[in-house]
Amino acid sequence: MSTSSGKQPASGGGDPAPKPSRRVFSPEYKLAMVAEYENAANGEKGAILRREGLYSSHIIEWTRARDAGQLGQFGADRTDAVPTAAGSRVKKSAEQIELEKLRRQNEKLQADLKKTRMALDIMGKAHALLEELSESADNDNPPRRS
């Protein structure tokens, strides 16, 4: 069915759903979300993503951009503070961010080292026990059958 004006006939009274628009996040929002995500405990990180409707890939991408200095170059007056939902927070320098990252990595490695040392201690005790049992078994002569 065609109309003389070239328009398609309306079926049902209009556009059923408006075309979705792409979300755009400001640099301030990105920095605030990265900071909140990094400062959250492991169990709370997923809750932050769900609350904001974000994906972990957003945080990863924004963290890389922040570390590369791409999020802090949008204004000359933004270098001293980054506003957040809870107020304003002093912006961390790249050295401070790297220092925090290295401290977290150091804590994790120290915990891993402690676990490894405990495991080696247990293995050493188990080895000594098995060696002692082996020696006592060698000294005991089992009865011979004829």
pLDDT tens digit string along 17-67? 788 888 889 999 999 999 999 999 888 999 999 999 999 999 999 999 998
16 or 134, which is more confident? 134
Q: What is the model's pTM?
A: 0.39
Least Cα distance to 32 among 50, 11, 48, 46 occurs for 48
Q: Using an 8 Å Cβ cutoff, are 84 and 38 in contact? A: no
In this predicted structure, what is the pLDDT of residue 117?
97
Q: What is the rounded distance in angstroms from the CA atom of residue 71 to the CA atom of residue 11? A: 46
In this predicted structure, what is the pLDDT of residue 80?
39
Using the predicted structure, report yes or no on whether residue 1 has a pLDDT greater than 90.
no
